[in-house]
C-alpha cells in the first residue's frame, strides 16, 4: 500500500475525534510491535497538534484506533508536544497558552 493511501486511512481514523491535528507518516521507518500472539513490523505515525491539548484519554483512544485498524500496519503513534523555534533554537510547548 502506498504512503498516500495510508495517510488517507489515518485521516479517516482521526477525523471523528474533531482534533486540530496534522497526521504524519514516517516513510520507510518500521518498528516491531505485537498484535495478538505475533510480532508485526509496522509504520510509525506522528500526530502534530495545532489546537488545544486533548485529554490523555482521547490521546489513548486515537492511538488505539490507529494501531488497531486492520487495514494498515501501524505499530507506534507519537505525539508532537513541542516545536523548536528556528531563530532561538529553544523548544516551545505547542500546548502552552499565550501570556496575558
Residues of the chain with pLDDT > 70, as a percent, come to: 81
- pLDDT tens sequence across 34-75: 877 888 889 999 999 887 778 889 999 999 999 999 899 999
Q: Would the pLDDT of 95 be above 80?
A: no
Q: What is the pTM of this model?
A: 0.78
Q: Please check whether residue 98 lies inside any domain of the structure.
A: no
- Rama region for 91: left / alpha / beta (φ>0; ψ in -120 to 50; rest): beta
pLDDT at site 40: 85
Q: Residue 84: give its domain's CATH number.
A: 3.30.300.10
Residue 53, judged by CB atoms within 10 A of its CB (0-12, 13-18, 19+), counts as: middle
Give a yes or no: residue 100 inside a domain: no
Q: Tell me which residue range forms the domain holding 82.
A: 3-93
CA distances to 19, 66, 87, 94 from 12, in Å: 12, 10, 35, 24
Q: Is 11 a residue whose pLDDT tops 80?
A: yes
Amino acid at each position: 500500500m502506498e504512503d498516500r493511501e495510508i495517510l488517507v486511512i489515518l485521516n479517516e481514523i482521526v477525523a471523528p475525534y474533531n482534533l486540530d491535528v496534522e497526521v504524519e507518516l514516517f516513510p520507510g521507518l518500521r518498528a516491531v510491535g505485537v498484535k495478538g500472539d505475533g510480532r508485526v513490523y509496522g509504520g510509525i505515525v506522528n500526530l502534530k497538534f495545532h489546537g488545544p491539548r486533548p485529554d490523555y484519554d482521547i490521546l489513548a483512544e486515537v492511538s488505539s484506533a490507529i494501531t488497531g485498524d486492520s487495514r494498515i500496519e501501524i505499530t507506534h503513534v507519537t505525539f508532537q508536544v513541542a516545536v523548536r523555534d528556528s531563530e532561538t533554537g529553544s523548544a516551545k510547548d505547542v500546548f502552552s497558552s499565550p501570556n496575558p
